[in-house]
Amino acid sequence: MNRFFSLVRRDVALAFRQGSASTMVVMFFILTVTLFPLGVGPEANILQRISSGVLWVAAMLASMLSLDRLFQADFEDGSLDLLTLGSLPLEVTVLAKCLAHWLTTGLPLIIIAPLLGVLLHLETSGYVTLLISMLLGTPTLSLIGAIGAALTVGVRRGGVLLSLLVIPLYIPILIFGVGSIDAAIGGLTERPHLFVLGAMLLGSVALCPWAAAAALKLNLE
């Protein structure tokens, strides 16, 4: 566990030292959400209707911006070979890198989302569900994205290919994330949607590191 958290601290420190990836994710999220009131108009009724979908779509697209750097930097400087040959299993290494990716991208999105919800006139009954759904959904985005990042590591300009690989897998998270907020706003129970998001997270923790590790081994051979 010490090696696991040491790797997490390393990746988080590198992310904050470079700064560009995390800043880009946050700025993209803010700018994308801000453009919607300018595009569809300032009417509160319209913004309330689309607020949950806008927040989730923007968060999903923002989290994808830094996925191509999840393994690419370590691949380019040779660190990935050392991590593969190290005593820590590659699957655990992938899980640590996914956790670091979520801490530097997903967690800031969760913190900012309620503030942008005010801009979109999100109903007050939906804020708690928004936070819970993003807390369950954004780690799953990082875990699923790790598979695409591992498959495209070493590929020049693999960002487009990465997007094509992971967006279809992101759709269920988007559906249940938006559905939970809409259910809470509509006075219905949001628990079924949140339970599905939780099940997706548990399944991703169990399966995605293995799939990403297998893809990395294939690309490094």
pLDDT tens column, 89-99 = 888 889 989 99
Residues 6+ apart with CB under 8 A from 80: 71, 74, 153, 216, 220
Q: What is the pTM of this model?
A: 0.90
Token pair for 60: 């999903």
Share of the chain above pLDDT 90, in %: 47
Query: Residue 117: exposed, middle, or buried by beta-carbon count in 10 A (0-12, 13-18, 19+)?
Result: buried
Secondary structure element (H or E) that encloses residue 183, with its range: helix 159-185
Inform me whether the pLDDT recorded for 25 exceeds 80: yes
Which pLDDT value is given to residue 2?
A: 77
Q: Are the C-beta atoms of 107 and 22 separated by less than 8 Å?
A: no
Which pLDDT value is given to residue 33?
A: 92
Which pLDDT value is given to residue 191?
A: 93
Inform me whether the pLDDT recorded for 100 exceeds 80: yes
Q: What confidence tens digit (pLDDT) does each residue in 146-195 have?
A: 998 888 887 766 677 888 889 999 999 999 999 999 999 998 999 999 99
Half-sphere CA count of 152, side-chain side, radius 13 A: 20
Residue with tokens 């490094």: 220
The arithmetic mean of pLDDT across residues 38-53, rounded, is 87
Which pLDDT value is given to residue 109?
A: 93
Report which of residues 206 and 71 the model is more confident about. 206
